[in-house]
Amino acid sequence: MAMLEVSNLSKSFGDLTVLRDINFTVEKGEVIAVIGPSGSGKSTLLRCINQLEKANGGQITVCGTQMMTTGEKGRAVFADPKTLREIRLKTGLVFQNFNLFPHMTVLRNITEAPSVVLHKSKAESKEKAMELLKKMGLETKANAYPCELSGGQQQRVSIARALALDPEILFFDEPTSALDPELTGEILKVIKELANEGMTMVIVTHEMAFAHDVADKVVFMEGGYIVDEGTPEHLFGDDASDRVKQFLSRFNNFGA
């Protein structure tokens, strides 16, 4: 079953076009790694799918429900607000800079959305939050504030917060870019565990070894286009395009 279908997607900011004719599909349980140089449109793609930006054209379908399409005169037509809200609840986004509420404890950061958005009881929200904190190895940090945590701990709280809404698809926007190498390992381990559990994920990352080892499919973007895509064996192998090989040559163990 296709959890996400993106067709002919385009996005511009004024005269600057950042996404051009983007097409890809994510099946249930798949892990998709999106790689490419900075400024290639990777983060904008995630933001369009998660309704943080409005695409200008194309089509996005999430879990079988159409979020947007292109109508007359080539303009984007979005679903009604109720449908958009239902779609939003099926997706979760983990940001690169954590985006935790600094004035709330770890526990409240996780329980706030289930209580307010899903109208779950405080007891139910707390029980779910504590289960997630235990999963993240942070059950002793429930009453701490974000400023009292390391970067890796804050990012694990961010992942727990996203999971608290039980999303069908989880998106990561360079989840380790703000972390040092040791803390990066903590986050990659969590994501690997989620992959092993069958979570459908789309991950924008600069961790090439991680993309090679965990992803079912890798998408290479540059200049707003998808330049190449396929299995890790293809993208990190001899059959990849020359541009992909050139890009990977900057990373140890990959490229020419």
pLDDT-based confidence at residue 256 (cuts at 50, 70, 90): very low
Are residues 238 and 222 in contact, defined by beta-carbon separation less than 8 angstroms? no
CA distances from 187 to 21, 29, 154, 155, 254 (A): 32, 19, 10, 7, 22
DSSP state of 18: E
**pLDDT tens-digit series, residues 25-49:** 999 999 999 999 999 999 999 999 9
Q: The pTM is what? A: 0.93
Q: Which of 95-99, 104-108, 195-199, 200-204 has the lowest mean pLDDT?
A: 95-99
- The C-alpha atoms of residue 103 and residue 6 are separated, in whole angstroms, by 37
pLDDT-based confidence at residue 96 (cuts at 50, 70, 90): confident
> What does the DSSP assignment read for 65-101?
EEEEEE-GGG-EEEPPHHHHHHHHTTEEEE-TT----
Strand partners, 95: none
Is 253's pLDDT higher than 70?
A: no
Q: Which of 175-179, 185-189, 233-237 has the lowest mean pLDDT?
A: 175-179
Using a pLDDT cut of 70, give the percent of the chain over it. 98
Is 255's pLDDT higher than 60?
A: no
**pLDDT tens-digit series, residues 139-168:** 999 999 999 999 999 999 999 999 999 999
Phi, psi for residue 16 in degrees, rounded to 5: -95, 115
**Alpha helix locations (H) across 173-207?**
181-196
Q: Which amino acid is at 86?
A: E
